[in-house]
Structures are given as C-alpha cells and as structure tokens.
C-alpha cells in the first residue's frame, strides 16, 4: 500500500536551513514497531505519522517518533505535521488547526501574512505556523547531582552554568543557562553517555544580532550516542516558559538554533496577554512522493 510521504524543512530561514522532518500520511495500519524502524532508517531527528483523529474536535492525529522512542509531544514535528496536513488539502474545522497527540490537543495557527506561494504538497510555497506551548510535565531547578551530570556531558566547569532548570514538556528536557550565546556555541559535548539524556543550552546574543537567544539541543539516540538536534520546537517552547517566568524575557523574541551544524534555524516566540506562549517558524515541503514498501 502506498502512502504520501513528505520531507518538510521546519523553522527554516532560507533554503535547506532548518530541521528536516519526515511525514508519512495516511498512516493507518502501520504498527508502532514499524514506525520506530522507519524513523531509525530515515535517520532524521524525528519522523511523524499522520492519522485520523480519535478526538471529535481534532483535525488530525499524530504519532511522533525519535531515534530511541515514541514522544508524546515534539515541536518541529507538530509544525511540520500541520504544514503537511494543509499541503495535502486538509481543512481545519475551526479558526486554528487542532492536533491530537500524546499530550492531548495542541492548537496551531497560521500567519497568512507570512505565506508565500500556495503552500501545496509539492513545495510551491512556505507556511509560517505557530503552536501553543503545552504545559510542562516537569519543572523547577535541577539539583546539584543533576547539574554535575549535565556538566559531565557538556564538559563544562560548574561556574559556567548560571542556572539549570527542568523544562520537560514530553521529551525530557533539562536546560542550562550560560553567560552568552558565544559560550553556548563554544560547548563541545561528550560523544556518548551511559544513559539517555536531553539537554538544552541557552545563552543571550548581544544587541544588534538578528536573534535574541542562541539555543542548542543535545540528546541521546537509541545507542547512547549524543547528538545535536538542528532546531527544536519542544525545547524552545519550554525554555520560553522558563525565560518569561523568570523575567529574562518579556516581549516577543527570536531564537537561533543549528548554528554549530551549519543551519540558520529561526524560532519566533510570543507571549500573549492571556499568558499563552506561541512558538512559530517557517515550513516548506522540500521533497514529495509516496512510500512503496512496508505495511
């Protein structure tokens, strides 16, 4: 049975600049084990599978897989899945797109003034989409034992970390704040770790830069190898909640990610009067085809 397949560039600032996402649509009939196998074979940070919703209010349902496991939520798969849903002709039931996933229903909105072309499945256009940051599953300061483990992974001295906070909205993120974006970009993590770990590194850019913050995401694959994700929506969402709550951010800001990997990902973050945080970026279909093997 063939199914539509898209490779979507998420959080892009130009051609081939963001985080690629594999999207398998019409994924009914594919089991979890095969979804995990497909994800590892594609060797992207995540692959998402589009399904019919089970919640009446939802427009579609997704299952999101990383190298090591299925995730209840992830940001760049959320935006990429919404882009694919629209590109394949999907029409939201309401003013916002409503995605069903492991953390429940996630609202996604489209900025019409940021759309170029028609955004169809073959790539003739970009969409700028934003998701509402879901609640944190774990928050609060990391303790000294946890910080010591993070320092071991990042190969940093204790004095380099200004603050460390649990910011887990599904994948398991713990974030550390360094003194500057330059310090963030200088980090050279270890190559592996004895257990799975997901670390966000955060530092502020000086005035005049096109981004306000530099973000890096270090995570473990299924074999314990430490990898860097090009641009990470879930981490940016949870870090935003931390930055706003601590007073380190107030108005809208732009985060850069992927710099050490040669990418120029840009994440647009806003906090509205009702307290809801929206995390957005540009999406574009780069390849479109169909699966020809498997279930």
pLDDT 10s digits, 90-109:
999 999 999 999 999 999 99
pLDDT level of residue 113 (50, 70, 90 thresholds): very low
Whole-model pTM: value is: 0.91
| Ramachandran class of 113: left when φ > 0, alpha when ψ lies in -120 to 50, beta otherwise | alpha
- Rounded CA separation 15/291 (Å): 24
Is the pLDDT score of 125 beyond 90?
no
Give the pLDDT confidence score for residue 292 in this predicted structure: 74
Q: How many CA atoms lie within 13 A of 250 on its CB side?
A: 1
Give the pLDDT confidence score for residue 1 in this predicted structure: 83
- Rounded CA separation 3/290 (Å): 5
Give the pLDDT confidence score for residue 76 in this predicted structure: 95
Average pLDDT, the chain: 93
Is the pLDDT score of 77 beyond 60?
yes
pLDDT in tens, 10-34: 999 999 999 999 999 999 999 999 9
Domains of the chain with CATH codes = 3-132+280-291 (3.10.310.10), 138-274 (3.10.310.10)
Residue 51 DSSP one-character state: E
Give the pLDDT confidence score for residue 118 in this predicted structure: 39
Give the pLDDT confidence score for residue 112 in this predicted structure: 52
Single out the residue of 130, 166, 141, 165 nearest to residue 254, CA to CA.
Answer: 130
């Amino acid at each position: 049975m063939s199914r539509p397949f898209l490779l979507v560039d998420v959080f892009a600032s130009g051609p081939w600049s963001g985080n690629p996402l594999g999207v398998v649509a019409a994924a009914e009939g594919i089991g979890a084990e095969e979804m995990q196998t497909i994800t590892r074979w594609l060797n992207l940070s995540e692959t998402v599978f589009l399904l019919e919703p089970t919640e009446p209010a939802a427009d579609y349902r997704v299952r999101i897989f990383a190298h090591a496991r299925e995730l209840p939520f992830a940001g760049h798969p959320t935006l990429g899945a919404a882009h694919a849903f629209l590109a394949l002709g999907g029409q939201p039931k309401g003013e916002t797109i409503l995605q069903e996933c492991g953390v429940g229903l996630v609202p996604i909105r489209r900025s019409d003034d940021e759309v170029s072309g028609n955004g169809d499945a073959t790539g003739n256009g970009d969409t700028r989409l934003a998701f509402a940051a879901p609640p944190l599953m774990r928050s609060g300061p990391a303790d000294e034992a946890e910080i010591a483990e993070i320092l071991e992974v990042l190969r940093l001295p204790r004095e380099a970390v200004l603050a460390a906070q649990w910011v887990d909205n599904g994948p398991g993120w713990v974030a550390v704040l360094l003194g500057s974006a330059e310090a963030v970009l200088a980090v050279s993590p270890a190559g592996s770790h004895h257990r799975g770990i997901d670390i966000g590194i955060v530092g502020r850019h000086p005035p005049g830069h096109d981004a306000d913050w530099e973000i890096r995401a270090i995570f473990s694959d299924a074999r314990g190898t430490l990898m860097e994700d090009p641009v990470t929506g879930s981490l940016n969402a949870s870090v935003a909640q931390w930055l706003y709550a601590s007073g380190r951010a107030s108005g809208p800001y732009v985060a850069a990610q992927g710099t050490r990997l040669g990418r120029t990902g840009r994440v647009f973050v806003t906090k509205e009067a009702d307290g809801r945080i929206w995390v957005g970026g540009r999406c574009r279909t780069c390849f479109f085809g169909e699966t020809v093997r498997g279930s």
